[in-house]
C-alpha cells in the first residue's frame, strides 16, 4: 500500500513538474514571439544602427549638450525614426500628422516609462498618472485654472516682477551679464506663492536648501533617464546616486508637507471664524487663495484628498510651472535682444499702453499685449521649453504608414516639429507675425505644440502665458536689451528643459518710454 501511494505521489509530482515546465515554456515562447514581432515591426523604420542588447544606449551616454545634438542627428533619418535604448524601442516623430496620431488620441494617454523616475518626487499626480486616476485628477484640477482664479494671481506676477527689476536695475550699466538666474528665481518665487501661498524669497536667497534641491533633482533624473545601467533601483543605489536623490527628496517633501500642514490649520481656523461671523476687519483682509487652498477646499467639500494626494499635485505644479516658464522668458528676452527692430515694436506697444507710468499690469492690459504675446509664442516655437514629449503605447498605432507596436515609447521631437518648412517657411527666422490669426489658420493644428496638445495638453498654459507676458513686459518697459551671443554660437542643453548651456548673456540699457 505504501509503495502504491509512493508511486502515485511520484506520478503526480512528475505530472505537476511537466505541466509547470510546459506552462513556463509556453509563456517564454509567447514572449519570444511577441518580442520578435516587436523587433520586426520596429526594424522597418529608418534609424541608426544599434548594438545587440545595448541598442543605441552608448550613443546617448554623452554630455547633455551632446545628447541634444545626438537626438537631432537621429532625426536626420526621417520624420519617423527608430532607436533602441537597451531592450526598449523608441519611435521619434517630428512631423505634424504623425504627432497628431499620438497627441489627439484618447487611447495613447500613458506617459513613457522615462517619467517613472519622477515618481519618487511627484508621485502619480496629473503629470505622471494614468487611467482613471488621471481622468479624476484632471477633472478636479481644471476649475483651479478658471479665468477668475487666474485673475487673482496677477498681483503676484506684478509684485515678484518688481522684485526682479530691483535686482536687475544695478546691472543696467551696459555691461554683459547672465540674466537667466534672475528670471529663474523670479519664476520660482511666483510658483511658490501661487501654488502654496508661501513666499520663499528665492530672489533674496538663491542659496536656499529648497531652491538647490529643485535644481539638482531635475538634473539627476535626466542623468538617470539616459543611462539604462543605473535605471534599476538596486544599481541606482549601488552606484551611489540614491543617497543624493533621497536627500533632495527629503528637503522637497519636508517643505511641501510643512506647507500643507500649515495651510490645513489656517483653513480650519478660517472656517471656525466664518462660523462665528468674525469680520474680515478683525482678522485682517481675506487672503488670496493659492493652488493649495483650492485643493484643500475640494478635499473638504467634495472628495477627500490625503496630504500625499495634495502634495503630489502641489509638487507637480512646482515642477511644471517654474523651469518651463523661466526658459520661455529667457528665450523671449534673448531673441528680442537679437532683433532690435522687433524689440522696438514691443516697446511701442507697451509705451502706448503704459506711457511713462510704472503702474502694475492689469487683465485689460494683458488683452492688449497682442504683439508681445506673439513674440513669446514665436520664441516658444524656436526654443520650446519642453523639447521632447513622450508616450508609451498600450495599443498598436499606425504612424506615417508604419505599424508601431505596443510597448514602444513614441517621442514627439518638438524642437524639430516646430521647424517643419512646410508649416513654417524660413523656419530659423524669428518672425512674431507667424502668430497673426490669418497665419495660424493656414497651419496644421498639431504643427505647434509647446504646451503639448489634445487630451493631455498642459492644464496651466493660460497661467504660463499670463505670467510670461507680465514678467517680459516688466523688463521691456524698463530696459532695452542687447544679446551678446549670436544664434550660430548658441550651445543648447536639451535636458528636461531646453536651455542655453552658457546662460543668457545680455546687456541692459535703461530706457525712457516714448509717449
Q: What's the pLDDT tens digit per position in 105-130? A: 988 888 887 788 888 888 888 888 88
* Cα 450 from Cα 381, distance rounded (Å): 7
CATH 3.90.1170.50 fits 37-510, yes or no: no
For residue 364, CA distances in Å to 156, 374, 393, 466, 476 come to 16, 17, 43, 12, 18
Show the cell assigned to 53. Answer: 542588447
At 334-374, the pLDDT tens digits run: 999 999 999 999 999 999 999 989 999 999 999 999 999 99
Q: pTM of the full predicted structure?
A: 0.88
Percent of the chain with pLDDT over 90: 48
Residue 359, pLDDT score: 95
Apex 291 CA angle, 290 and 297, nearest 5: 90
For 433, which DSSP code? G
Q: How far is CA 398 from the centre of its chain?
A: 26
- Classify 32 in phi/psi space as left (phi over 0), alpha (psi -120 to 50) or beta: alpha
pLDDT > 70: what percent of the chain? 89
Q: Which runs of E-coded beta strand occur in 160-220?
A: 177-178
Q: Phi and psi dihedrals of 42, rounded to 5? A: -65, -40
Confidence bin at 512 (pLDDT 50/70/90) = confident
Mean pLDDT over 227-240 rounds to 86
Distance, in Å, from the CA atom of 64 to the CA atom of 437, rounded to the nearest integer, reads 37
Q: DSSP assignment, residue 434?
A: G
How is residue 366 written as a grid cell?
A: 494683458
Count how many Cα atoms sit within 13 Å of the Cα of residue 25 in the half-sphere of its side chain: 6
Ligand-binding annotation for 75, yes or no, is: no
What are 272-318's pLDDT values in tens digits?
776 665 555 444 445 667 788 888 888 877 777 888 888 888 888 88
Residue 429 has pLDDT above 90, yes or no: yes
Closest CA to 471 of 379, 404, 396: 379
Among 57-61, 145-149, 423-427, the minimum mean pLDDT is found in: 145-149
Q: Pick the residue with more confidence: 385 or 66? A: 385
pLDDT beyond 70 at 3: no
Dihedral of CA atoms 414, 219, 194, 204 in degrees, nearest 10, equals -130
493: three-class secondary structure by DSSP: strand
Quick one: average pLDDT of 259-282? Answer: 69
CA 421 to chain centre: 26
- Are the beta carbons of 415 and 98 closer than 8 angstroms? no
* Strands of the 388-392 sheet, one edge to the other: 80-85, 88-93, 409-413, 388-392
Q: Look up residue 346 and give its DSSP letter.
A: H
Beta-strand relationship, 80-85 and 388-392 = unpaired
CA distance 67 to 393: 24
Look at the block and give the residue holding cell 551616454: 61
Are 481 and 333 spatial neighbours (Cβ–Cβ below 8 Å)?
A: yes
Q: Are 64 and 493 in contact (CB under 8 A)?
A: yes
Does residue 252 sit in helix, strand or coil?
helix
CA atoms within 13 A on the CB side of 481: 30
How much is the pLDDT for 31?
Answer: 55
Strand partners, 412: 93, 389
Could you tell me the three cell numbers for 481? 536689451
Per-residue pLDDT for 230 more than 90? no
Spatial distance between the Cα atoms of 92 and 112, rounded to a whole number of angstroms: 13
The DSSP code sequence of 17-65 is HHHHHHHHHHHHHHHHHHHHHHHHHHTTS-----BTTTBTTTTT-S-HH
Q: Which of 206-210, 290-294, 473-477 has the lowest mean pLDDT?
A: 206-210
How high is the pLDDT of residue 8?
60
Query: What value does the mean pLDDT take over residues 27-49?
Result: 77
Calculate the average pLDDT of the chain: 86
Q: Is pLDDT larger for residue 501 or for residue 507?
A: 507
Domain residue ranges in the chain = 37-510
Residue 136 pLDDT = 83
Q: Give every CB contact of residue 93 below 8 A, 6+ residues apart in sequence.
A: 79, 80, 81, 99, 102, 399, 400, 410, 411, 412, 413, 417
Distance CA 408, CA 388 (A): 15
Measure the CA–CA gap between 439 and 442, rounded to whole angstroms.
Answer: 5
Give the least confident one: 27-31, 477-481, 494-498. 27-31
**pLDDT on residue 284:** 44
Cross-strand partners of 80: 93
Whether 479 shows a pLDDT value over 50: the answer reads yes
Q: Say if residue 62's pLDDT is above 90.
A: no
Task: Answer with the residue of higher pLDDT: 177 or 497.
Answer: 177
Q: What is the H or E stretch that residue 228 is in?
A: none
For residue 163, name the pLDDT band (cuts at 50, 70, 90).
very high
Average pLDDT for 256-272: 81
Q: How far apart are CA 98 and CA 79, in angstroms?
A: 8
- pLDDT one-digit tens code per residue, 132-155: 888 888 888 887 777 777 888 999
pLDDT at 270: 73
The residue among 86, 95, 81 whose CA lies nearest residue 404 is 81
The residue with greater pLDDT, 170 or 272, is: 170
pLDDT of residue 278: 52
Q: Residue 15 pLDDT > 90, yes or no?
A: no
The confidence score (pLDDT) of residue 283 equals 42
Is residue 10 over pLDDT 80?
no
DSSP assignment string, 441-482? TTS-TTS--BTB-GGG--TTHHHHHHHHHHHHHHHHHHEEEE
Helix axes 241-275, 291-301, angle to 10 degrees: 60
Q: Of 377, 418, 410, whose CA–CA distance to 394 is shortest?
A: 410
Q: Given a cut of 90, is residue 232 above it in pLDDT?
A: no
pLDDT top residue among 466 and 144: 466
Q: What is the pLDDT of residue 379?
A: 98
H or E stretch at 372: helix 370-382
pLDDT value at position 117?
86
Strand positions, DSSP E, 13-163: 80-85, 88-93
Identify the pLDDT of residue 413: 95
Give SS3 for 232: coil
Instruction: Flag the least confident range among 160-174, 175-189, 257-271, 413-427.
Output: 257-271
Amino acid at each position: 500500500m505504501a509503495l502504491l501511494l509512493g508511486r502515485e505521489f511520484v506520478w503526480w509530482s512528475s505530472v505537476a513538474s511537466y505541466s509547470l515546465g510546459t506552462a513556463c515554456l509556453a509563456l517564454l515562447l509567447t514572449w519570444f514571439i511577441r518580442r520578435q514581432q516587436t523587433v520586426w515591426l520596429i526594424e522597418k523604420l529608418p534609424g541608426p544602427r544599434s548594438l545587440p542588447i545595448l541598442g543605441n544606449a552608448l550613443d546617448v551616454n554623452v554630455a547633455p549638450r551632446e545628447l541634444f545634438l545626438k537626438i537631432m542627428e537621429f532625426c536626420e533619418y526621417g520624420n519617423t525614426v527608430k532607436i533602441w535604448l537597451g531592450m526598449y524601442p523608441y519611435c521619434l516623430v517630428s512631423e505634424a500628422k504623425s504627432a497628431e496620431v499620438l497627441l489627439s488620441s484618447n487611447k495613447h494617454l500613458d506617459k513613457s516609462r522615462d517619467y517613472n523616475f519622477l515618481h519618487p518626487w511627484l508621485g502619480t499626480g496629473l503629470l505622471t498618472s494614468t487611467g482613471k486616476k488621471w481622468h479624476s485628477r484632471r477633472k478636479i484640477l481644471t476649475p483651479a485654472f478658471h479665468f477668475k482664479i487666474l485673475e487673482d494671481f496677477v498681483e503676484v506676477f506684478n509684485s515678484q516682477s518688481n522684485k526682479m527689476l530691483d535686482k536687475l536695475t544695478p546691472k543696467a550699466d551696459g555691461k554683459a551679464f547672465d540674466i537667466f538666474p534672475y528670471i529663474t528665481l523670479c519664476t520660482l518665487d511666483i510658483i511658490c506663492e501661487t501654488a502654496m501661498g508661501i513666499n520663499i524669497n528665492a530672489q533674496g536667497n538663491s542659496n536656499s536648501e529648497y531652491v538647490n534641491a529643485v535644481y539638482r533633482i531635475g538634473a539627476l533624473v535626466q542623468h538617470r533617464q539616459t543611462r539604462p545601467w543605473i535605471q534599476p533601483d538596486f544599481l541606482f543605489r549601488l552606484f551611489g546616486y540614491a543617497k543624493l536623490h533621497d536627500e533632495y527628496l527629503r528637503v522637497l517633501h519636508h517643505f511641501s508637507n510643512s506647507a500643507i500642514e500649515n495651510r490645513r490649520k489656517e483653513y480650519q481656523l478660517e472656517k471656525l471664524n466664518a462660523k462665528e461671523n468674525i469680520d474680515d476687519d478683525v482678522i485682517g483682509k481675506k487672503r488670496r487663495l493659492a493652488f493649495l487652498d483650492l485643493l484643500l477646499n475640494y478635499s473638504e467639500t467634495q472628495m477627500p484628498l490625503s496630504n500625499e494626494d495634495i502634495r503630489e499635485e502641489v509638487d507637480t505644479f512646482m515642477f511644471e510651472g517654474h523651469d518651463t516658464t523661466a526658459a520661455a522668458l529667457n528665450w523671449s528676452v534673448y531673441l528680442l535682444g537679437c532683433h532690435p527692430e522687433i524689440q522696438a515694436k514691443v516697446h511701442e506697444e507697451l509705451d502706448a499702453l503704459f506711457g511713462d507710468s510704472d503702474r502694475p499690469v492689469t487683465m485689460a492690459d494683458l488683452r492688449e499685449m497682442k504683439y508681445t504675446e506673439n513674440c513669446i509664442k514665436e520664441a516658444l516655437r524656436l526654443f520650446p521649453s519642453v523639447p521632447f514629449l513622450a508616450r508609451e503605447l498600450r495599443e498598436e498605432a499606425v504612424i506615417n504608414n508604419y505599424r508601431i507596436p505596443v510597448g514602444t515609447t513614441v517621442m514627439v521631437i518638438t524642437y524639430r516639429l516646430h521647424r517643419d518648412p512646410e508649416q513654417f517657411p524660413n523656419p530659423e527666422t524669428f518672425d512674431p507675425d507667424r502668430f497673426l490669426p490669418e497665419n495660424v489658420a493656414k497651419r496644421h493644428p498639431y504643427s505647434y505644440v509647446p504646451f503639448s496638445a489634445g487630451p493631455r495638453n498642459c492644464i496651466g498654459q493660460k497661467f504660463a502665458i499670463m505670467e510670461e507676458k507680465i514678467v517680459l513686459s516688466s523688463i521691456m518697459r524698463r530696459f532695452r536689451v542687447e544679446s551678446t551671443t549670436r544664434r550660430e554660437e548658441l550651445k543648447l542643453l536639451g535636458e528636461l528643459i531646453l536651455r542655453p548651456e552658457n546662460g543668457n548673456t545680455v546687456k541692459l540699457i535703461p530706457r525712457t518710454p516714448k509717449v
